[in-house]
Structure 1
Amino acid sequence: MSSMPKNTMMFLVGRYTPLQLLLKIVWYGALLFFTYLMVLITLQYIPAKLDVAFLRVKDNVTGLLHYRVAFFTHVYTSIIVLVTGIVQFSDYIRNKFKGFHRVAGRIYVFLILLLAGPSGLVMGYYGNGGWTAQIAFCLLAIFWIYSSYRGFSSAIQGDFNAHRNWMYRSYALTLSAISLRLWKWLIILVFQARPMDAYQVVA
């Protein structure tokens, strides 16, 4: 166990240039930070309640049972998807812990295909910002499901280059949960835009 940090460092140093290693550290640091913020957002909805955060502006649809089911399903499963996705792109984990990579990958894909993706499609239908935002969010959910399915099916077929490319696309869409909030914050900060206007632009 004590040799693990040394082995990890030797693996990283031997595989990347100093600049690549620095960029990777910065990337993972930023990703972990924003994932932590998403965890805090998710915790607002535990236990399930309708008078907090985002749901305060959704009182026109929170009376619908299928919307409530879709919303809480999406919130609770998407954070797991976000966290499991982080480790999927670690070369060290992928090479040294292949079994863990496969298990985490299946959790990631099946949650998207069965729960997070379909519930996101329902939420997209009721999205704020008018029909343009609703179409955008529905397309996001569809492409999220599709790219995840293609990534999984490529791995089953043994085409690991295609698998890697499709999973990059899938996780890029997973990260839209972060990028949407980040861009919205920047637009409001820089242009003094109204929150809903910024929301429509980002969507």
Structure 2
Amino acid sequence: MAVAAALWVVALCVVKFVAASDQDKREAPEVTHQGIQGCVSALHAAVCYLRAGDVPQASDIRATFHRVVPPLETAREIEQIIPYVGGDGGGAGRRFSINTGVTGRAIRDGEPYILSSSAETEAKQRAELKSDLGYTAAEVRALTPGRYSAMAVPIRGKGGLHVLGVIYLDSSGRNVFDDESVTGMILAICDSIDGFVTQRYQE
């Protein structure tokens, strides 16, 4: 049953990727990001499915995509280009410094980054964000409170010389993205999204 469930999740993702690619081929990249939103929706569904049985807060997992604002060689900002999948669905259009947060860390290091806060209170968790991830007090106040787990995966695209964007997920649950099976699934799907980004925006 576990194998069948995993295959079902993968099949769902493949169908979403194909549908998104077909639609986006007919539209200009600067006009729409529905293809990326479809890919992120598939990722979100897979993660929620895998975590539903053992994480009470799995239903509030959010996922989105941030692009690195050009020029890539001297990038200073990232921009959220699609609304959150999950949560209130907002957020598109916001810009952040590339020097802060788990997204900034993933882009600067070129490697996936997982945040699992063990802070007992919201105040302590926000203090961690300032001390460990470079946020200012004003930036921390603007963040959605109570997000104790997060994961960011860089998307490199064709050639892999520069990071083009980052897939970001978060949750109010604890250790949501730490499980190896969950991490492995996220990285596998993000690898497919990387291929989609290459096909959609770079070919």
Same fold (TM over 0.5): no
Q: Which has the higher contact order (CA 8 A, sep 6+)?
A: 2
* Structure with greater Cα Rg: 1
Higher helix share: 1
Q: TM-score, normalised by structure 1?
A: 0.27
Higher strand share: 2
Q: TM-score, normalised by structure 2?
A: 0.27
